[in-house]
Copies of this chain bind each other. A is one copy, B any other.
Amino acid sequence: MRIAGRHHRTIALAADGWSVEVIDQTLLPFAFELRPLQSLEDAAQAISGMIVRGAPLIGVTAAYGVALAMRADPADASLRQAIETLGATRPTAVNLQWALTRMAEALQPLAPRLRAERAYAEAGAIAEEDVRCCETIGRHGLALLRELAARASGRRLNVLTHCNAGWLACVDWGTALAPIYAAHENGVPVHVYVDETRPRNQGAALTAFELGAHGVPYTLIADNAGGHLMQRGRIDVCLVGCDRATACGDVANKIGTYLKALAARDNGVPFYVALPFSSIDWRMNDGLAQIPIEDRAAREVTHVTGIDEYGRRLEVCIAPADAAAENPAFDVTPAGLITGIITERGVARADRAGLAALYPERDAPRRAGA
């Protein structure tokens, strides 16, 4: 999408044809800098250090990490180690495992000398597929937003989103924000309430940044405010992304998503989750019991990063010096709270039958084996 009128992607091959460039998302919204990834270690550190984040982008970065490892050493041991190292970077987003499995399946059968070229081709294909998926999610979501806008009879459509499931979480377009960009570009008057998304403030730092840079009107709110706005009829629809969905439609997403889904149900506000097929974990049926939830550092709760009045980036402590803190990074929204799941194949009911109808080829093996 656009920043200052110029089109960008979050990840791309550099001009040298082999190293990978990503937008350093830890510096947003204050600075826009590209960071080169030149090794497996660079890629792993980019994911674990959240230089890149967002389930789809994590998957694409991991794929390129395998390519970088194959360029350095295409032996079996190197491939195994790359998959292991990258697989251990973050636990919740299933796109990571999905991309690594796909890379392994493509590369393992090949002679080592053929692996580097194939790895780059496969990583590139994953990236391109992600762009196409997101664009298609945008089209399906646009149809939904158009329907809702028709009911809003001329006034702007108010969408609530949580965390960042925009193009910065993917390669381009985004998942939850793709329908919003599509609506904006097609003349549907859309306005986004952006949850700041503590503790890492991805709403304030990333969603506000990318919507603003692209020209979509938005209003930043504290995570606490969404329920109040829904009670007052000021939200027409909630639209969020996903780090892992089960085959039954439970969804793990950034911590706090569940609370918004509860408020949506309580106030009759439709609650949609947008995701590409690579975020569905077909092995899982029970999100609460099965999806691993990442626990992150207490310091993300007790400290906040921003810029001071001179534009210097720094971190302030907001709690007593000896405060203990817990920091679960995701929560699970049960399928029963979700109005629909928007994927590249259309809008599914959030249950096994709904998802299976969109992905019959994924549901079939399970039934055959049952």
Contact = CB atoms under 8 A, between A and B. Distances in A.
A304 B331 contact: no
Nearest to A200: B222
A222 B255 contact: yes
B262 A326 contact: no
A107 to B, nearest CB: 37
Nearest to A309: B315
A308 B318 contact: no
Nearest to A258: B227
A306 interface: yes
A326 B225 contact: yes
Contact of A263 (B228, B259, B320): B259
Contacts of A324: 218-220
Interface string A104-147: 00000000000000000000000000000000000000000000
A152 interface: no
A204 B259 contact: no
Contacts of A224: 197-199, 223, 254-256, 259, 331
Contacts of A236: none
Contact of A306 (B197, B301, B316): B316
Interface in A1-51: 29
Contact of A198 (B219, B223, B331): B223
Contact of A320 (B198, B209, B320, B325): B209
A357 interface: no
Interface residues of A, number: 63
Contacts of A332: 228, 231
**Copies of this polypeptide in the complex:** 2
Contact of A256 (B208, B219, B222, B326): B222
A221 B331 contact: no
A315 B308 contact: yes
A361 interface: no
B304 A314 contact: no
B325 A314 contact: no
Contacts of A204: 301-302, 318-319, 323
A230 to B, nearest CB: 9
B223 A223 contact: yes
Contacts of A266: 262
Interface in A182-241: 193, 196-199, 201, 204-205, 208-209, 212, 218-229, 231
A328 interface: yes
Given A223-B256, A224-B198, A316 B325 contact: no
Contacts of A288: 231
Interface string A159-177: 0000000000000000000
Given A221-B326, A222-B223, A231-B258, 7 more contacts: A220-B298, A223-B224, A227-B262, A228-B328, A228-B332, A303-B306, A304-B318
Closest 9 CB pairs of A and B: A224-B256, A306-B316, A228-B331, A262-B262, A220-B325, A306-B318, A198-B222, A204-B319, A224-B255
Interface of A: 29, 193, 196-199, 201, 204-205, 208-209, 212, 218-229, 231, 254-256, 258-260, 262-263, 266, 288, 293, 298, 301-309, 314-320, 322-328, 330-332
18 contacts: A196-B198, A198-B198, A204-B319, A212-B320, A212-B323, A218-B324, A222-B223, A222-B255, A222-B256, A226-B259, A227-B331, A231-B331, A259-B259, A259-B260, A262-B266, A303-B306, A304-B304, A308-B316
